[in-house]
Amino acid sequence: MSSAILRDVTLRDGLQLTGKVLPVEQKADLVRRLLGLGVPALEIGSMARPDLVPPMANTMELIAALSPEELQHCWVWVATPRHVEKAAAAGVRNFQYCFSVSDAHNKANIGRSTEDSVAAMPDAVRLATSVGGSIQLCLATSFTCPFDGPVDPERVIAIANDPRTAGADDIVLADTLGQAHPGEVAALVSAVHTRTPQRRIVFHGHDTWGMGVANTLAAITAGATMVDGALGGLGGCPFAPGASGNTATEDILFATRPTWFTPTTLATLVDLSENLRADLGEPNRSRTAEGARSKAEAFEWVSQRSTGS
């Protein structure tokens, strides 16, 4: 299972519902700590309007605080060509161009129709490639919509195959509400993998209904080679009623066991998560983090609470 790359999305999707703006210095420190542990990719912020998503207000300052080498591992959420242009000028080279498969959610989330977002994507691709960047096609509500209900998989396939989205290097399939089950996830990932131009498939899952890890593993088995998670299961979409936290980074890593992930790494991740959640006043949603603090001391993955982080 370790063939899939984990992308930690704590600093974007993880913070969206918290209502608190973390200082730039704290965000930059978390970026460096996660990269230092071996986490290969991070989503660090969003170009969304700060009045609509206040925790993202200092994304540009965070970008400026990071080195070009650090930014090589970092992704930023964008929804318009103008977003790409501004982020690129600041030094971003990895862009996640996101819109919803369902019109109702796209209008609530971005303020335009899905067709409008698709129509604007060639300009976003052009701007990203002009600076040597990489751009992802991120499809929110790939499975269900909070307003319209189930999403037809053929609509996802149609968008993925639309010539206007062809410039994307990756396709992100997002279970925005966490309502999908492993069979659905496997079927859609497999269909996109086999019926669209060959691009990396990314799975972005939420754990609202307790299927986050199961869905992530199903996605990997079906062909996804990057998966998203957030520390402690933080996160959710402020414009999607019923959406709760992301699948926990700790849980995904414990299930997939990449070579860089060790009991010591887990202990540090749990410390980072506890400190962050204490600052935010958020609960822990990671079962692995709970296990790491258990009394099963004969198990090597159990760790004692750190006092130095």
Residues carrying an active site annotation: 237
| Burial status of residue 169 (CB atoms within 10 A of its CB: 0-12, 13-18, 19 or more) | middle
Q: How far apart are CA 87 and CA 95, in angstroms?
A: 8
Phi-psi category of residue 193: left, alpha or beta, with phi > 0 → left and psi -120 to 50 → alpha: alpha
Instruction: Give dist(CA 39, CA 112) in Å, integer.
Output: 34
Tokens of 86: 């501004």
Q: How far apart are CA 201 and CA 171, in angstroms?
A: 5
What is the C-alpha to C-alpha distance for residues 140 and 101, in angstroms, rounded to an integer? Answer: 6
* DSSP-assigned beta bridge partners for residue 43: 75
Q: How many residues are present in the chain?
A: 309
Question: Tokens 């994507």 map to which residue?
Answer: 121
| Tokens at 147, concatenated | 């307003």
Spatial distance between the Cα atoms of 22 and 10, rounded to a whole number of angstroms: 12
Specify the amino acid at residue 10. Answer: T
